[in-house]
Amino acid sequence: MLDQNKGKLLAIATKSPDEGNMHLLDKANLTKSSGVENDPRGRKLSRQVTVLSSESWAEVCEEIGKKLPWTFRRANLLVEGVYLPNSKGKKIIIGEVVMEVTFETTPCHVMDQAENGLKDALAPNWRGGVLCRVLKEGEIKCGDSVALI
């Protein structure tokens, strides 16, 4: 049986402040003041970093019948092997970085602008991912271990 509390960081992305496109990174600094460094959305303490599970994204793509890039979701981090539903208040540890899950990410109308039906497909069972605040700063990189405690 798989341990649903341990996994791996598959990908990192930041939103461009000018055109709003997502840019993939191999590594990133996470800070208490700005979340993922250079992502303009990280200034709100309860919404600094968005985390999406690859398993949930695969379910969403299957439901809508299209294989879409995970960046359509506009999340910062894509993780594998970590079960995110009902994780509010838990800690996500990636390498040396520690974050607290503050909320479920509620899909908005922007998801349907990216792909029709995406908003509704993301809604059940926390498939849109989670919002986090940074408790312990540091650098993360693709391939780092991820734990949910």
Domains of the chain and CATH, by start: 5-148 (2.40.33.20)
Model confidence band, residue 1 (pLDDT cutoffs 50, 70, 90): very low
83 to each of 112, 114, 142, how far by Cα in Å? Answer: 25, 25, 18
Rg, the chain, Cα only: 14
Q: What pLDDT, in 10s, does the model give residues 133-148? A: 999 999 999 999 999 9
- pLDDT tens track for 29-38: 999 999 999 8
The tens digit of pLDDT for each residue in 39-96 reads 888 888 888 999 999 999 999 999 999 999 999 999 999 999 999 999 999 999 999 9
Share of the chain above pLDDT 70, in %: 97
Burial of 129 (0-12, 13-18, 19+ CB in 10 A): buried
Q: Distances in Å between the alpha carbon of 120 and those of 57, 89, 105? A: 13, 25, 13
Tell me the average pLDDT of the chain: 92
State the pLDDT at residue 4.
64
Burial of 26 (0-12, 13-18, 19+ CB in 10 A): exposed
Please give the model's pTM, rounded to 2 decimal places: 0.93
